[in-house]
Amino acid sequence: MTEQKTPNRRDFVKGAATGAIGGTLLGMGAYSYSPLAYSRMSKVARQQADFGACRSVKVTSISETSWFNNAHLVGDIHAAGGLLVDQYSINWAPFGNGKGVAQGSYKDGIDSIKKMIPGDLEEAWATQQKLALHPDNAGGYSCLIEVEDLDGTKHKYLLDAGWSYDWMDQSFKREAIDQMLASGEIEALILSHEHFDHFWGFPVVMKYNNKIPTYAHDGFYEEGMQYIKDSGYEGDLKVIDKELTPIRPGMMAIKFNVPIITRVYGEVSLAFNIKDKGLVLISGCNHQGILQMTSTAYQKLKYDNDRFYGVYGGLHISPFEDWDPKYDDLVISLGKWDFERVGCNHCTGHLTAKKFIEAGYPVVKGTARFRTSSPDYLGNGDTITF
Amino acid sequence: MQVDNQAVSYLESRKLVKRWSGPWPAVVNTLLIFGFFYATWWIFQDPRGIMRMYTPYVGYMVCRWLLILFIWLAYIFDFWPFKRTWLNSAHPLLKGVVLTAVSVAAMLLLIKGFFIEILGNFGIAYFNPDRLMAMGLTDFYSIEYAAEAVMMFAAIASWLSPSWVVACENAPWQKLTQPTRGITIVIVTFFLSMIVYLLTMHSHMAILFYPWQQYTAITPPYWEGFANTVSGNFHIAWIMCCTVVVWVYESIWQRYPFNLIQTDWLRRTSSFFGIILVALCMCFFLYYAQDLVWGEAIRGTRREMAPDWRWLHVGETAIFWLVGVLYLSFYGGNWPTKFSRPVNVLLRTLISLAIGAAVYIIYYKTAHLFLGTQKGFSHPQQFPMIPTIWLINIFLINMWFMDGWPGWKAVPKTAEELQETRNEVVASDVRWTPSLGKGLLAGAAAGAAVYFAVITVLPWIGETVTIVK
């Protein structure tokens, strides 16, 4: 009796062990990717924070040309070791040290110009032109945002500080940003992220107003925070550490925690609720992805007509005129969100703009002035009002 | 004097015995392996290091093709042209250096000679970066695109090449001598890989260029509706799962349960397609699991909310499990071994899953502190498969080429031990009985219950557990 039971029990255990793996695999294979599996997923309730409304938002593209020669920029990245290399080590101005590609450092660069910034930016940039890789290739991204309150009063904000001291100073003067900064007319600087082309022109802003309230993502690296200090900043630095930060009625900063190429972490983008029109999204580079921002805004914010009205800024799709099939997923899917106006530029890429236009999206064209290479999208000096 | 072309392969002919008792062999080898991993990572891959191949695609291509070359040399060519006498007598360090150097040389020859010069000049332009540059692409993206294509080919070969040995038992060429057998199987699996590449990856590459290359590839690709993306990452997902399952089946599963099939052709066919089926189950589960943890993917978004990234992450997650599987098999002595084979298989599966999960969590919590990468799951240019496959390559160098030195040494198997090895290929330790049938039913019910329990818990894990702050 016992002898008979033992093999039976052993066989049962062998079968059970085998069946356990088989049953689990069966569930995994037959159920996991089925419509039934997805029908049981609960819908996430929208939280829809009420952040007020504004009457209109006008954006002036001070500079969207972050660099002028794509081959030089990508060539430098390539020579330095690719897209994961620390931006401060590439040896770009203003952190060049004359030692060649990938041999740069924040310390070497800042030591060479610290005494000159922000007072003598011409000398600082001239110094760096002798030390850095392709210094004349540097441009920058920056835009002026004018928010009109419901009562008609206007408030100005600067999104990003660009890159080249020379180029940004010229661009600021072209759009009278220098005067607006000096007079305190611009209420705050919002640094979207730490990338060279959005942040390294910070001393140019300091040249005109080194006390301007400044917002920065809490993912800035040590070098970035030090650069703010070394540039002579004496104002109120607001480190954004929450997902949603109201700036003023109808204007919200949204923080995204995303790792980004050339060792940068996190981006802050802006959302505006335009009275009777809907939501407008403005970004520096939108490294989180425009539809990621859109879906976050859909979940987290309350806005008029519950519709997306417009978008402005870099959408970081094909910044180096590169491509990936996932970008086509975006081109195919963007239409579902039904934006009325798409004011893209900068790292969106000309190829993406071309594909948007072919897909019938309402891309706002530009005038291709001030070294913007194509009228496919809003260029330097162009404006858009939402 | 021993000669080559023996009936038993070198890896089957040897038994690895510990040089010291207790856990010391595993401890010493683990420390040395991680030291070697970090040194070589710094030299070859690290974005802060010397050669900086983690561009990312160049480094990705290299680590994948190295894996294939190791498999070819050890599994398909049975170390030809090296003689068995040399393999038995040379110092493991010397063997490690020589066999790795030969693999690297063969890899360079294959990438440069076949993919870039032959295929890229006479077949498909995107395999040759110079041709892309001549058409106006930047040098960086020309190299990245070409490396991506070559890398994707390797992903397929990393499944099909070992599968032919493990599942198909080298049939119908198992009786051929080396190098005829090796050359034949390489050519056949290479040919099959080419077909699978054209069916799965060519369309992905074709839509990298503007306009979509619709005269030479199917665009939009046929999987778009099913996978919710036009990206070939959908195929990377299931193909990487196939790669992992081949080694799970070969190592911790000891070819169970298909080795119970006594009819050769049926066992081989069942093994080959069974591996694919298991991989598909794993693939769909890992995708669904992400949807449960992070919320349903939204097409057109970027990073962890995007379907293309989630498919890629299926493959990445599978490779984390493979790290656990191979570590348990190589350095854990395939523990446990004292129960019946089905019970051992179940326990090893659970243990290796636990190791894989631990490696996954540790990787995402700490990799940015020492690999020159950034924290976060879905950096668009970071691929955890690069360090994990790099680590696996070092496992293989250590265990296949160096006989587990210094913790282990190779001794010839006895006749009984060789018979045991053969019994793993065709086994009879589990036979059909009514009790086995009842056990199967009860186990299947329990397995299904575990599955539904897991998918019930996953959304809660998504809300409460934070791996990357």
Claim to verify: residue A182 and residue A224 sit in the same structural domain: yes
Contact predicate A124/A209, CB 8 Å: no
Q: What is the 3-state secondary structure (H, E, C) of chain B?
A: CCCCCCCCCHHHHEEEEECCCCCHHHHHHHHHHHHHHHHHHHHHHCCCCCCCCCCCHHHHHHHHHHHHHHHHHHHHCCCCCCCHHHHHHCCHHHHHHHHHHHHHHHHHHHHHHHHHHHHHHHCCHHHCHHHHHHCCCCHHHHHHHHHHHHHHHHHHHHHHHHHHHHCCCCCCCCCCCCCHHHHHHHHHHHHHHHHHHHHHCHHHHHCCCCCCCCCCCCCCCCCHHHHCCCCCHHHHHHHHHHHHHHHHHHCCCCCCCHHHCCCHHHHHHHHHHHHHHHHHHHHHHHHHHHHHHHCCCCCCCCHHHCHHHHHHHHHHHHHHHHHHHHHHHHHCCCCCCCCCHHHHHHHHHHHHHHHHHHHHHHHHHHHHHHCCCCCCCCCCCCCCHHHHHHHHHHHHHHHHHCCCCCCEEEEECCHHHHHHHHHHHCCCCCCCCHHHHHHHHHHHHHHHHHHHHHHHHHHHHHHHCCCCC
Q: Is residue A1 over pLDDT 60?
A: no
Closest CB to B140: pick one of A75, A263, A325. Answer: A75
Q: How many domains is chain A built from?
A: 2
Å from B121 to nearest chain A CA? 22
Q: Is residue B5 over pLDDT 70?
A: no
* Average pLDDT estimate for B275-283: 98
Residues of chain A contacting B144 with CB distance shorter than 8 Å? 322
pLDDT at residue A321 in the model: 85
Q: Is residue B256 over pLDDT 50?
A: yes
Contact predicate A291/A299, CB 8 Å: no
B51-71 residue pLDDT tens: 999 999 999 999 999 999 999
Q: Is there a domain that residue A196 lies in? A: yes
- For chain B, the domains span 10-430+443-464
- A173 exposed, middle or buried (CB, 10 Å; 0-12, 13-18, 19+)? exposed
Q: Is there a domain that residue A106 lies in? A: no
> Measuring CA to CA, which residue among B451, B70, B403 is closest to residue B247?
B70
Q: Note whether B375 contacts A265, CB cutoff 8 Å.
A: yes
Q: What integer best gives the mean pLDDT of chain A?
A: 95
Residue A362: phi and psi, rounded to 5, are -80, 70
B350 → chain A, closest CA residue:
A21
Å from A215 to nearest chain B CA? 21
B399-452 residue pLDDT tens: 999 999 999 999 999 999 999 888 889 998 999 999 999 999 999 999 999 999
* CATH number where A313 lies: 3.60.15.10
Residues of chain B contacting A18 with CB distance shorter than 8 Å? 256-257, 342, 345-346, 430, 439-440, 443
Handedness of CA B243, B248, B254, B258 (dihedral sign): negative
Confidence of residue A5 (pLDDT cuts 50, 70, 90): low
C-alpha to C-alpha distance for B175 and A83, rounded to whole angstroms: 49
Q: Is there a domain that residue A90 lies in? A: no
> Measuring CA to CA, which residue among B307, B465, B320 is closest to residue B384?
B320
C-alpha to C-alpha distance for B60 and B111, rounded to whole angstroms: 13
- B217: tokens are 């590839």
B26-41 residue pLDDT tens: 999 999 999 999 999 9
Claim to verify: residue A61 and residue A35 sit in the same structural domain: no
- CA separation (Å) from B174 to A190, B7, B178, B201? 68, 9, 10, 31
% of chain B exceeding 70 in pLDDT: 99
CA A231 from chain centre, in angstroms, equals 22
Closest CB to B287: pick one of A13, A33, A82. Answer: A33
pLDDT at residue B3 in the model: 39
What domain range includes position A14? 2-39
Q: Which of B152, B440, B455, B469 to mutate to test the interface with A (most CBs of A within 10 A)?
A: B440
Q: Is there a domain that residue A112 lies in? A: no
Q: Note whether A324 contacts B439, CB cutoff 8 Å.
A: no
Q: Note whether B374 contacts A260, CB cutoff 8 Å.
A: yes
Q: Note whether B450 contacts A20, CB cutoff 8 Å.
A: yes
Q: Go through chain B and tell me how many residues it has.
A: 469
Q: Parallel, antiparallel, or unpaired: how do β-strands A56-63 and A383-385 relate?
A: antiparallel
Å from A209 to nearest chain B CA? 33
Residues of chain A contacting B220 with CB distance shorter than 8 Å? 328
Q: Is residue B461 over pLDDT 80?
A: yes
Confidence of residue B464 (pLDDT cuts 50, 70, 90): very high
Q: Note whether A19 contacts B140, CB cutoff 8 Å.
A: no
* Average pLDDT estimate for B370-398: 94
A335: DSSP letter: G
Q: Is there a domain that residue A87 lies in? A: no
Q: Is there a domain that residue A208 lies in? A: yes
B228 → chain A, closest CA residue:
A329
Å from A365 to nearest chain B CA? 21
Q: Is there a domain that residue A44 lies in? A: no
C-alpha to C-alpha distance for B93 and B212, rounded to whole angstroms: 50
Confidence of residue A4 (pLDDT cuts 50, 70, 90): low
% of chain A exceeding 70 in pLDDT: 99
pLDDT at residue B4 in the model: 47
pLDDT at residue B302 in the model: 86
> Measuring CA to CA, which residue among B399, B138, B144 is closest to residue B250?
B399
Q: Note whether A28 contacts B282, CB cutoff 8 Å.
A: yes
Q: Is there a domain that residue A12 lies in? A: yes
Closest CB to A19: pick one of B58, B281, B440. Answer: B440
Q: Go through chain A and tell me how many residues it has.
A: 386
Claim to verify: residue A23 and residue A60 sit in the same structural domain: no
Q: Does A9 touch chain B (CB under 8 A)?
A: yes
Q: Does A28 touch chain B (CB under 8 A)?
A: yes
Residue type, B121: N
Confidence of residue A42 (pLDDT cuts 50, 70, 90): confident
Q: Does A176 touch chain B (CB under 8 A)?
A: no
A95-127 residue pLDDT tens: 999 999 999 999 999 999 999 999 999 999 999
Q: Note whether A28 contacts B285, CB cutoff 8 Å.
A: yes
Confidence of residue B2 (pLDDT cuts 50, 70, 90): very low
Q: Does A359 touch chain B (CB under 8 A)?
A: no
- B297 exposed, middle or buried (CB, 10 Å; 0-12, 13-18, 19+)? buried
Å from A242 to nearest chain B CA? 13
Residues contacting B377, CB < 8 A, separation 6+: B303, B304, B313, B364, B468
